[in-house]
């Protein structure tokens, strides 16, 4: 069987011979599909993972990890957003901490967060202050991100490139 997984969409498309079906995160139910359903299931997902020669349990396992990675990344971005209420950010830190305990999630979040400099408005200090005593894993992620940002500041050309390609700057 072949599969296409999107953590953001929380769905895996399964192709077994000529049979197309879907599997949704958090369920074991496989739903028969038609080709025309694909855009509605995946939307504009860009986080697609393509698998070949896999069985349903492996697809389900990978889908759960991909979905947890996408959710954890969203929570990390909420935590870093200075415009959100402190209460919301602190709640996000606790939920992020839980998801970072899932095997494979921390590495997926780190691949994204460490791939390029944080935007200037990201509030690492405020995010760290939101991490309660029980959100140690989230705090450790943020501390490592802060060290990374300090030790590897962006080159001036990277800052210019990011600013030039910011949709809000074009308006």
CB 80 within 8 A of CB 72: no
Which pLDDT value is given to residue 117? Answer: 85
Residue 135 structure tokens: 């959100």
Which pLDDT value is given to residue 48? Answer: 95
Which pLDDT value is given to residue 120? Answer: 84
Q: Which residues contact 94 (CB under 8 A, 6 or more apart)?
A: 132, 134, 135, 138
Q: Is 69 a domain residue?
A: yes
Which pLDDT value is given to residue 170? Answer: 46
The arrangement of strands across the sheet holding 19-24 comes to 30-32, 19-24, 11-16, 2-6, 48-51
CB 103 within 8 A of CB 62: no
Using CB atoms within 10 Å of the CB of residue 127, give its burial: 0 to 12 exposed, 13 to 18 middle, 19+ buried: buried
**Total Cβ atoms within 10 A of residue 164:** 9
Query: What tens-digit pLDDT sequence spans the chain (171 residues)?
Result: 999 999 999 999 999 999 999 999 999 899 999 999 999 999 899 999 999 999 999 999 999 999 999 999 999 999 999 999 999 999 999 999 999 999 999 999 999 998 888 888 899 999 999 887 778 899 999 999 988 887 766 655 454 555 555 555 544
The total number of structural domains in the chain stands at 1
Q: Is 169 a domain residue?
A: no
Which has the closest alpha carbon to 120: 80, 148, 87? Answer: 80
Which pLDDT value is given to residue 156? Answer: 54
Predicted model pTM? 0.82
- Domain span at residue 124? 2-155
d(CA 155, CA 73): 25
State the DSSP string of 149-161: HHHSPPPHHHHHH
Q: Is 79 a domain residue?
A: yes
Q: Is 71 a domain residue?
A: yes
Q: Is 101 a domain residue?
A: yes
- Where residue 17 falls (left for φ over 0; alpha for ψ -120 to 50; beta otherwise) is left
Which pLDDT value is given to residue 160? Answer: 52
Q: Is 171 a domain residue?
A: no
Q: Is 162 a domain residue?
A: no
Q: Which residues contact 62 (CB under 8 A, 6 or more apart)?
A: 5, 12, 49, 51
Q: Is 168 a domain residue?
A: no
Cα dihedral angle (32, 4, 10, 72), rounded to 10 degrees?
170
Which pLDDT value is given to residue 151? Answer: 75
């Amino acid at each position: 069987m072949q599969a296409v997984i999107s953590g953001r969409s929380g769905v895996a498309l399964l192709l077994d011979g000529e049979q197309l079906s879907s599997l949704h995160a958090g369920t074991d139910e496989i739903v028969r599909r038609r080709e025309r359903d694909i855009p509605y299931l995946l939307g504009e997902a860009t986080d697609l993972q393509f698998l070949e020669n896999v069985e349903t349990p492996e697809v389900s396992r990978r889908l759960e990890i991909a979905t947890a990675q996408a959710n954890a990344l969203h929570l990390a971005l909420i935590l870093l957003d200075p415009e959100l209420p402190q209460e919301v950010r602190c709640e996000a830190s606790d939920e992020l901490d839980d998801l970072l305990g899932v095997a494979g999630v921390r590495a997926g979040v780190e691949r994204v967060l460490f791939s390029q400099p944080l935007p200037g408005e990201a509030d690492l200090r405020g995010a760290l202050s939101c991490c309660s005593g029980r959100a140690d894993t989230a705090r450790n992620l943020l501390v490592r991100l802060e060290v990374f940002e300090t030790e590897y500041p962006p080159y001036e050309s990277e800052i210019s490139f990011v600013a030039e390609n910011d949709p809000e700057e074009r308006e």
